[in-house]
Amino acid sequence: MKTERKSLLVYGMEGGVWLGLYLIARFFCGVAGGYSPLFNTIAVVLFIITPVVLYRIMLQYHKHNGYVSGFSLLWMMGIMLFFFASLISCIPEYIFYQYISPDYIANATSQSIKLIEEMGVLETQGTVDELRRMLEDNALLTPMQMVMSSMWGNVFFGSLLSIVVAPFVLRNKNTNNNKV
């Protein structure tokens, strides 16, 4: 019986759904982390295990395609996973910023100002003054700008992470071939 191989694009979209749900959970735990230490801890743990999640999704693609994928294909797979996952995770992020907590961006900026003042690190560089000016002039990022920033940040992070994870996925092939 012959099994049909899925293309890189199809597998990127399918894996992107699962990774997108993971990114949504990570986002909401991060937001709730401002109110609860438990959620903050969960958000940090979810961030730390992101390479493991990526590894598992990439390994499934690698196994289902007969271990024929090279490094560059796995790297592209990781980029596509994070791109499609970001498309999915951006919807709830936009809803959160626009409708659920429209003052979240302003509150986060105010908290950043307080933190910078307490640390005393960036005060001499005018960062605090610039943030205060932005807050007073209501020149903060819009919800759509926050979402787009998050999306491209995820894709960039995913690209770098895929460079690191792909060799481990390829190494799994060599380990399995040696056991046979």
pLDDT per position as a tens digit, 142-177: 999 999 999 999 999 999 999 999 999 988 765 555
Cα separation, 142 vs 158, whole angstroms: 24
User: How much is the pLDDT for 180?
Assistant: 43
Give me the sign of the Cα torsion angle 2, 67, 180, 162. Answer: negative
In sequence order, the 6+-apart residues with CB closer than 8 A to the CB of 150 are 27, 86, 89, 90, 93
pLDDT tens string 41-90? 999 999 999 999 999 999 988 888 765 568 888 999 999 999 999 999 99
What mean pLDDT comes out for the span 15-36? 94
- Is the pLDDT at 23 greater than 60, yes or no? yes
pLDDT beyond 80 at 19: yes
pLDDT(123) > 70: no
Domain ranges of the chain: 8-172
Burial 60-93 (b: 16+ CB within 10 A, else e): ebbeebeeebeeebbbbbbbbbbbbbbbbbbebb
Q: Please, which pLDDT band fits residue 96 given cuts at 50, 70 and 90?
A: very high
Q: Looking at residue 129, what is its pLDDT?
A: 83
Q: Which amino acid is at 65?
A: N
Joined tokens for residue 9: 């694009």
Residue 3 is predicted with a pLDDT of 59
pLDDT digits (tens, 9 = 90+) for 104-119: 999 988 988 888 888 8
* Cβ neighbours of residue 127 closer than 8 Å, sequence gap 6 or more: 116
Predicted TM-score of the model (pTM): 0.84
> What is the model's pLDDT at position 36?
92
How many Å from the N-terminal Cα to the C-terminal Cα in the chain? 21
- pLDDT band, residue 124 (cuts 50/70/90): low
C-alpha to C-alpha distance for 55 and 49, rounded to whole angstroms: 10
- Which candidate, 72, 113, 103, 92, places its Cα nearest to that of 27? 92
C-alpha distances out from residue 57 to 12, 50, 75, 133, 162, Å: 9, 11, 12, 44, 11
- Please tell me the distance from the alpha carbon of residue 51 to that of residue 166, in angstroms, as a whole number: 10
Residue 32: pLDDT over 90? yes
- Residue 74's closest CA among 92, 54, 58? 58
